[in-house]
Amino acid sequence: MTKTYHNYVDGEWVGSTTGETFETTNPAAPDEVVAEYPAAGDEDAERAIRAANEAASAWAATPGPERGAILRRAAGILDDRSEELTERLTAEEGKTHAEAGGEVQRAVDIFYYFAEQARDLAGERKAASGPDTNLYTREEPVGVAALITPWNYPIAIPAWKLAPALAAGTTAVLKPASLAPGPAVELFEALDEAGLPDGVANVVTASGSTGSYMVAHEDVDAVSFTGSTAVGTQVYETAVDRGARAQCEMGGKNPTVVAADADPAAAAEIVAAGGFGVTGQACTACSRAIVHEDVHDEFVSELVAAAEPIEIGPGDEYDMGPQVSETELEGTLDYVDVAADDGATLATGGGRPAGDRFGDGYFVEPTVFTDVDRDDRIAQEEVFGPVVAVIEVGDFEEAVAVANDSDYGLSASVVTDDHTTANRFIDEVEAGVAKVNEKTTGLELHVPFGGVKDSSTETWREQGRRGLDFYTLTKTVYDNF
């Protein structure tokens, strides 16, 4: 049954001023309509921004523990509805039931985490040079934030932008990606039931052009964006040119280095989890396995052996779901052709699976290429599908050089039994996240997250206590008595 959603503006569930709507469909069965949404336009965004501005002063003056209590109640509501949300996410974005359930739980945990963080936003007391001065800092809300989020983590990323903003006393307008906006809108249903004051948080379902309107709006004080590097660069330039603060987390070409002393089977398991999990549709997905020549052949055999048994199909029953759209599927298949044209060897996968259960769904096989040169397009460009390029190297120095030979620098990992090698990798790799004996995907919510180079604007980090910094301004007070 198709669900009908509305925009949430100034505490009310409303349609679009355009009167138009759009539908989302199930990527495992594209003829199946999942939900209907208002096709918001600039006027809708204007109303939401105005509501956020009008609510900003009162929300900033609301004590932190009271703001946290609302987030805590919302977390409980989300937790109670976790199975429903999981099914919605699977139907609209295509993740497996287990992957969608994990993402929903992460959103719940994020709301609980920032509910507690809201208690500690009082600033710091410092020692003054003179005897008659109280010297301290205050953390104050930045104002109004525009939040623009992608389709690949449709509830977790909105949660990790929205929760710290609200905890900090900043009001917000969220525009989720139109391929899978439902889980994000569900966050606002929970906040509404939890007693969030009118106008404090607003959501509009709209195209990218309305997002551009929000970024350029003079009453938006801060812009947080997650998405492609090409769009993120434009978002950042537009925001900072008018004096707003901006943070953008963007693409990745994430490597896993497999050292000479690594267990090939264990390394293959790590790479497969990072490369094929969530159908490769993660900015932190492993797309390059950089493997020492001593273990290369055995590693390739183990990686193929890990890829081939993966059961593909609708996410509510199988190991790997579809890609989110026909465009994403075609992009992945195009890169398969590009890799072959560049001389890489297809070790497994590379096509659409055949069988009745796949129907017209956007399914693709987990794919491994070998004989990949570090300069090949498959080794340099973000694919955003379940494709791993294996690059053979002669020593650790070459491995790190290849890992760093990328415009991106988001997540990177090394598989090794030698802690000296691990420490060298941590010191030398150019990435915002460095992991040892672990897949490139997967993040702890209480530590900072972000990239370097073209993966990030390198301004503010998200998540953890550092995630609050973007939504607050520091005022230093000299109180002489």
Question: Tens of pLDDT along 18-72?
Answer: 899 999 999 999 999 999 999 999 999 999 999 999 999 999 999 999 999 999 9
Q: How far is CA 325 from CA 84, 183, 192, 312, in A?
A: 22, 17, 31, 16
What mean pLDDT is predicted for residues 136-157? 97
Of the candidates 144, 199, 203, the residue with the CA atom closest to the CA atom of residue 177: 203
What mean pLDDT is predicted for residues 327-337? 98
For 137, the token pair is 């800092």
Sheet holding 133-141, edge to edge: 125-126, 133-141, 472-480
Element (H, E) at 393: strand 387-393
Confidence at 148, pLDDT banded by 50, 70, 90: very high
Residue with tokens 């993040």: 443
- Is residue 166 over pLDDT 90? yes
Segment 254-280, tens digit of pLDDT? 999 999 999 999 999 999 999 999 999
The proportion of the chain whose per-residue pLDDT surpasses 70, expressed as a percent, equals 100
Comma-separated ranges of CATH 3.40.605.10 domains in the chain: 3-250+456-480
What mean pLDDT is predicted for residues 447-452? 97
Domain 3-250+456-480 indexed as CATH 3.30.1490.20: no
CATH number given to 254-436: 3.40.309.10
Instruction: For residue 467, list its beta bridge partners.
Output: none
- Residues 412 and 424 sit within 8 Å (Cβ to Cβ): no
- Residues 292 and 399 sit within 8 Å (Cβ to Cβ): yes
Instruction: For residue 248, list its beta bridge partners.
Output: 225
Q: What is the dihedral of CA 213, 215, 216, 222, to 10 degrees?
A: 140
Q: Which of 120-129, 235-244, 375-384, 447-456 has the lowest mean pLDDT?
A: 120-129
Residue 243 burial (CB < 10 Å; 0-12/13-18/19+)? exposed
Q: How far apart are CA 221 and CA 226, in angstroms?
A: 17
Q: How far apart are CA 261 and CA 420, in angstroms?
A: 12
What mean pLDDT is predicted for residues 159-178? 98
Q: Which pLDDT value is given to residue 122?
A: 87
- Is residue 110 over pLDDT 90? yes
Segment 194-230, tens digit of pLDDT? 999 999 999 999 988 999 999 999 999 999 999 999 9
Confidence at 427, pLDDT banded by 50, 70, 90: very high
Q: Which pLDDT value is given to residue 208?
A: 87
How many alpha carbons lie under 13 Å from residue 180 in its C-beta half-sphere? 28
Confidence at 172, pLDDT banded by 50, 70, 90: very high
Mean pLDDT of the chain: 97
Q: Which pLDDT value is given to residue 3?
A: 94
For the annotated catalytic residues, the residue numbers are 283
- Is residue 367 over pLDDT 90? yes
Q: Name the pairing type of β-strands 245-249 and 222-226.
A: parallel
- Is residue 1 over pLDDT 80? no
- Residues 108 and 187 sit within 8 Å (Cβ to Cβ): no
Helices assigned H by DSSP within 223-318: 229-241, 264-276, 296-307
- Residues 407 and 382 sit within 8 Å (Cβ to Cβ): no
Element (H, E) at 161: helix 156-167
Confidence at 481, pLDDT banded by 50, 70, 90: confident
Q: Which pLDDT value is given to residue 99?
A: 98
Could you tell me the maximum CA-CA distance found in the chain, to the nearest angstrom?
81
What is the number of other CB atoms lying within 10 angstroms of the CB of residue 161?
29
> 175: helix, coil or strand?
strand
Q: How far apart are CA 474 and CA 141, in angstroms?
A: 9
What mean pLDDT is predicted for residues 107-117? 98
- Is residue 253 over pLDDT 80? yes
What is the number of other CB atoms lying within 10 angstroms of the CB of residue 140?
16
Comma-separated ranges of CATH 3.40.309.10 domains in the chain: 254-436
- pTM across the whole model: 0.96
Q: How far apart are CA 323 and CA 316, in angstroms?
A: 14
- Residues 143 and 56 sit within 8 Å (Cβ to Cβ): yes
